[in-house]
Amino acid sequence: MNTRTTKAINLGVFEHFQPVLPEEFRDSRLVFLANSAPETQARVLDQVSSPELVVADTMDFWINHQKDSLLRLLPRLDGLMLNDSEAMLLTGESNLVRAGHAVRKLGPKFVILKKGEHGAMLFSDDGVFVVPAFPTEAVIDPTGAGDSFAGGIMACLAADSDHKPGRLRRAMAYGTVVASLTVEGFGLDRLRTTTRQEIDHRLEQYRQMLAF
Amino acid sequence: MNTRTTKAINLGVFEHFQPVLPEEFRDSRLVFLANSAPETQARVLDQVSSPELVVADTMDFWINHQKDSLLRLLPRLDGLMLNDSEAMLLTGESNLVRAGHAVRKLGPKFVILKKGEHGAMLFSDDGVFVVPAFPTEAVIDPTGAGDSFAGGIMACLAADSDHKPGRLRRAMAYGTVVASLTVEGFGLDRLRTTTRQEIDHRLEQYRQMLAF
């Protein structure tokens, strides 16, 4: 379940979507630009007055078809998330570590490479940080794993207002745990019944699992 | 470079090899049965008088062609190492975590699943332990990564005579570091120039890389 194959994309109403950000969101401190056309992402970002942290997701479709727009967006980002294969596609590097460093050179201050069931890597001023996925036996539906990984990360960063060193690492650990819950149910089923206590408990299990 | 495809196997003199263990090795405390026919591995083990720890490696060829012999060997082992795809082949499980647990039920006290550039997992009484690979930019030749991973593990276990809890985890971290050095050169080139100090230094880098 680790590989996504794009069978067809029909942008539909999304193609000419001009998002208008409601007034109450224009002073958002944190902005997460979920995967969409780089120009749409830029237009949303234009409407936020003074964001502290901007993170975007992207995918192969935009790299293949709207690379110029994407390259214009990247320097405006603090962080970019993308799959391992997409980082290689974007940079032409066949080694993941080199690909991660190369994406950073395109503008974002940090880069998160997602490797599905194999975890994720963070490239930042702080060096390279690697996290395996939380090993779960009950993979029901991988849909939304990447999005909830991002959600866990952004929520953790939003809560961590004192900007302590290592906050991106902690955020990635939280994102990993949230994603591992997501895949244990169909659609949103598992997340819907998840409590904060359960997330913290699994984070502790995860920490023990990695200790040597 | 993460996937091995077996193009052809010619056992040659190996097919009827009857290894005779030199006298001075018969009282070995630790035994590592490198990948070979399960019956050959069993014959070597027969010649060791009272081993404290026996670990074996295996591969798809033996699972496909000499499964019965392999299944007879497994209960004699403390640990078995194999690739992720081989664990799934051996157990019929499509989920790695379930596959790891299922291999343990076949006999070995612990199981190490190797995932190439994605690291490894340990299944033991101590639960599940996951390690990502050490992220190296300079992958020159993956040949021998698995063997030197095993070598690093066995050497670490041999040095760690007090059987402290977590020794398998520490051993896997050492094995990971040694394997990451192996792939940075062709054949044995990189290992030949590696010092103990370099291994310890990289282990410390690795530890920092995983901390959150």
Percent of chain A's residues with pLDDT above 70: 98
State pTM to two decimals.
Answer: 0.88
CA A108 distance to own-chain centroid: 13
**B31-73 per-position pLDDT tens digit:** 999 999 999 999 999 999 999 999 999 999 999 999 999 999 9
The band of A1, judged by pLDDT with boundaries at 50, 70 and 90, is low
Over residues B163-173, the mean pLDDT reads: 87
Work out the minimum CA distance from A42 to partner chain B, whole angstroms: 32
What are the C-alpha distances in Å from B112 to residues A194, B58, B175, B186? 31, 11, 11, 25
CA–CA separation, A172 and A149 (whole Å): 8
Half-sphere exposure at residue B143, Cβ-oriented, CA atoms within 13 angstroms: 7
pLDDT at A8: 86
Work out the minimum CA distance from B172 to partner chain A, whole angstroms: 9
Residue type, A33: L
Residue of B98, B115, B128 lying closest to A209 (CB–CB)? B128
Structural contact between residues A181 and A191, judged by C-beta atoms closer than 8 angstroms: yes
Q: Enter the tokens of residue B154.
A: 């066995």
Say whether pLDDT at B163 is over 90: no
CA–CA separation, A180 and A135 (whole Å): 8
Over residues A17-32, the mean pLDDT reads: 95
Over residues A55-84, the mean pLDDT reads: 96
The band of B6, judged by pLDDT with boundaries at 50, 70 and 90, is confident
Over residues A131-153, the mean pLDDT reads: 93
List of long-range contacts for A150-156, beta carbons under 8 Å, 24+ apart: A150/A32, A150/A34, A150/A55, A150/A57, A150/A81, A150/A175, A151/A32, A151/A175, A151/A178, A152/A176, A152/A177, A152/A178, A152/A179, A152/A199, A153/A55, A153/A112, A154/A30, A154/A32, A154/A55
Q: What are the strands, taking DSSP E only, across chain A?
A: 30-33, 53-57, 79-83, 110-114, 120-124, 127-131
**B134-156 per-position pLDDT tens digit:** 999 889 999 999 999 999 999 99
Q: What is the 3-state secondary structure (H, E, C) of B55-111?
A: EEECCHHHHHHCHHHHHHHHHHCCEEEEEHHHHHHHHCCCCHHHHHHHHHHCCCCEE
Among candidate residues B116, B154, B156, B160, the one with its CA nearest the CA of residue B134: B116
Comparing A102-106, B15-19, B150-154, B194-198, which segment has the lowest mean pLDDT? B15-19
Residues of B with CB under 8 A from a CB of A: 95-98, 101, 115, 117-119, 121, 127-133, 135-137, 139, 166, 169-170, 172-173, 207-212
Over residues B7-30, the mean pLDDT reads: 91
Say whether pLDDT at A163 is over 70: no
List of long-range contacts for A118-122, beta carbons under 8 Å, 24+ apart: A118/A2, A118/B115, A118/B118, A118/B119, A118/B132, A119/A176, A119/B118, A119/B119, A119/B132, A120/A149, A120/A172, A120/A175, A120/A176, A121/A96, A121/A97, A121/B135, A122/A168, A122/A169, A122/A172
CA–CA separation, A50 and A7 (whole Å): 38
Say whether pLDDT at A103 is over 70: yes
Q: Do A210 and B136 touch (CB under 8 A)?
A: no
CA–CA separation, B205 and B92 (whole Å): 37
Give contacts of A130 with chain B, Cβ < 8 Å.
132-133, 135, 209-210
CA–CA separation, A207 and B55 (whole Å): 27
pLDDT at A10: 87
pLDDT at B2: 65
Q: Do B96 and A209 touch (CB under 8 A)?
A: no
Q: Enter the tokens of residue A15.
A: 């193609």
Q: Enter the tokens of residue A154.
A: 């952004």
Say whether pLDDT at A176 is over 80: yes
Over residues A51-73, the mean pLDDT reads: 96
pLDDT at B1: 62
Say whether pLDDT at B183 is over 90: yes
CA B187 distance to own-chain centroid: 18
pLDDT at A49: 96
Specify the residue for token string 């010619």: B10
The mean pLDDT of chain A is: 93
Structure-model confidence comparison of residues B79 and B138, the more confident one: B79
Residue of B127, B132, B172 lying closest to A132 (CB–CB)? B132
Say whether pLDDT at A44 is over 90: yes
Q: Do B130 and A166 touch (CB under 8 A)?
A: no
**Complex prediction ipTM:** 0.80
- First-last CA distance in chain B: 29
The band of B26, judged by pLDDT with boundaries at 50, 70 and 90, is very high
pLDDT at B52: 94
Q: Do A210 and B209 touch (CB under 8 A)?
A: no
